[in-house]
Structure 1
Amino acid sequence: MTIAVLGAGNSGLAMSAHLSQLGCDVNLWNRTRHNIEKLIRTKTIFCEGLKENSVRINLITDDIDEALKDVDIIMVTTPAYSFFDIGCLIAAKIKENVPIILNPGRTFGAMRLERIIKEHSSLNSVSIAETQTILYTCRKYDEDRVKVFSLKRDVRIASKKMETVNSILEKLPYEFRNRFEIEESLAKTTLSNVGMVLHCAPLLLNSGWTENRDNSYKYYYDGITPTIGAFIEKIDDERVSVAKRLGYDIETTKAWMERSYGIKGKTLYECIRNNEAYKKIDAPDSLDHRYITEDIPFGLVQIEKIGKLINVETRTITLVIDLAEQLFNADYRKAADWLDEDVVKEIRIM
Structure 2
Amino acid sequence: MTTVAVLGGGNGGHAAAADLTLRGFDVRMYEDEAFIGKMKKVAESKNIHLSGACGNETVRIGMVTSDLKEAVADVKYILVVVPAFAHEIYAKKLSEVVQPGQIIFLLPGTFGSLIFWKELKKAGKEGVILAETHTLPYAARLVDDGEILVMSRFNPLKVGVMPASKTRETVAELSQFFDGLEPSESVIACGLSSLNPIIHVPGCILNAGRIEYAKGDFFFYTEGFTDSVVRTVEAVDAERIVLLKSFEYQWDVVAHGIGSGTETDDVKQAVAENPNFAKIKGPANVKDRYYSEDIPFGIAQWAKLAKQVGVQTPVMDSLVNLGSLILEEDCWTAGHSLESLGIQDMSLERLKLYMENGE
TM-score, with structure 2 as normaliser: 0.88
2:254 is the counterpart of 1:250: no
Q: State the shift of 1:191 in Å.
A: 2.0
5+ residue gaps, structure 1, are none
- Give the CA RMSD over aligned residues: 2.2
State the match for 1:60 in structure 2: 64
State the match for 2:156 in structure 1: 154
Change in 2 beyond 3 A, CA 1:221/1:274: same
Q: How does 1:192-271 map to 2 (within 5 A)?
A: 192-212=193-213, 216-257=217-258, 260-271=259-270
Q: State the shift of 1:327 in Å.
A: 2.0
Change in 2 beyond 3 A, CA 1:214/1:294: closer
Change in 2 beyond 3 A, CA 1:204/1:38: farther
SS in 1 for 2:349: helix
Change in 2 beyond 3 A, CA 1:41/1:328: same
Deviations 1:142-191 (A, max 9, x none): 232222221122211121345744444554574x4432122343332122
User: Quick one: distance in 2 between partners of 1:6 and 1:322?
Assistant: 33
Change in 2 beyond 3 A, CA 1:130/1:261: farther
Q: How does 1:331-350 map to 2 (within 5 A)?
A: 331-334=330-333, 335-338=336-339, 339-342=343-346, 344-349=348-353, 350=356
Alpha carbons 1:187, 1:347 under 8 Å: kept: no
Q: State the shift of 1:207 in Å.
A: 2.6
Alpha carbons 1:81, 1:293 under 8 Å: kept: no
Alpha carbons 1:28, 1:59 under 8 Å: kept: yes
Q: State the shift of 1:20 in Å.
A: 0.7
User: Quick one: distance in 1 between partners of 2:338 and 2:16?
Assistant: 32
Change in 2 beyond 3 A, CA 1:265/1:124: closer
User: Which residue identity is paired with 1:14?
Assistant: A
User: Quick one: distance in 1 between partners of 2:309 and 2:185?
Assistant: 23
* Alignment: residue pair count: 345
Q: State the shift of 1:213 in Å.
A: 6.4
Alpha carbons 1:27, 1:58 under 8 Å: kept: yes
Change in 2 beyond 3 A, CA 1:220/1:29: farther
User: Which residue identity is paired with 1:70?
Assistant: D
Change in 2 beyond 3 A, CA 1:74/1:346: farther
User: Quick one: distance in 2 between partners of 1:116 and 1:223?
Assistant: 40
User: Which residue identity is paired with 2:5?
Assistant: A
Alpha carbons 1:265, 1:274 under 8 Å: kept: no
User: Which residue identity is paired with 1:36?
Assistant: M
Alpha carbons 1:156, 1:181 under 8 Å: kept: yes
Q: State the shift of 1:71 in Å.
A: 1.6
2:76 is the counterpart of 1:75: no
Q: How does 1:111-150 map to 2 (within 5 A)?
A: 111-119=114-122, 121-150=123-152
Alpha carbons 1:14, 1:136 under 8 Å: kept: yes
User: Quick one: distance in 2 between partners of 1:246 and 1:168?
Assistant: 22
Change in 2 beyond 3 A, CA 1:184/1:289: same
Change in 2 beyond 3 A, CA 1:344/1:162: closer
State the match for 1:86 in structure 2: 90
2:45 is the counterpart of 1:42: yes
User: Quick one: distance in 2 between partners of 1:162 and 1:332?
Assistant: 29
Change in 2 beyond 3 A, CA 1:196/1:343: farther
Change in 2 beyond 3 A, CA 1:202/1:177: same
Alpha carbons 1:306, 1:344 under 8 Å: kept: no
Pick which of 181-190 and 232-241 moved more.
181-190
Q: State the shift of 1:2 in Å.
A: 1.3
Alpha carbons 2:109, 2:134 under 8 Å: kept: yes
SS in 2 for 1:124: coil
Pick which of 207-216 and 18-27 moved more.
207-216
User: Quick one: distance in 2 between partners of 1:35 and 1:346?
Assistant: 44
SS in 2 for 1:342: coil
Deviations 1:242-298 (A, max 9, x none): 1112222311211222xx452344511110111012221232323223222222122
Q: State the shift of 1:325 in Å.
A: 1.0
State the match for 1:329 in structure 2: 328
Alpha carbons 1:153, 1:261 under 8 Å: kept: no
User: Quick one: distance in 2 between partners of 1:44 and 1:261?
Assistant: 34
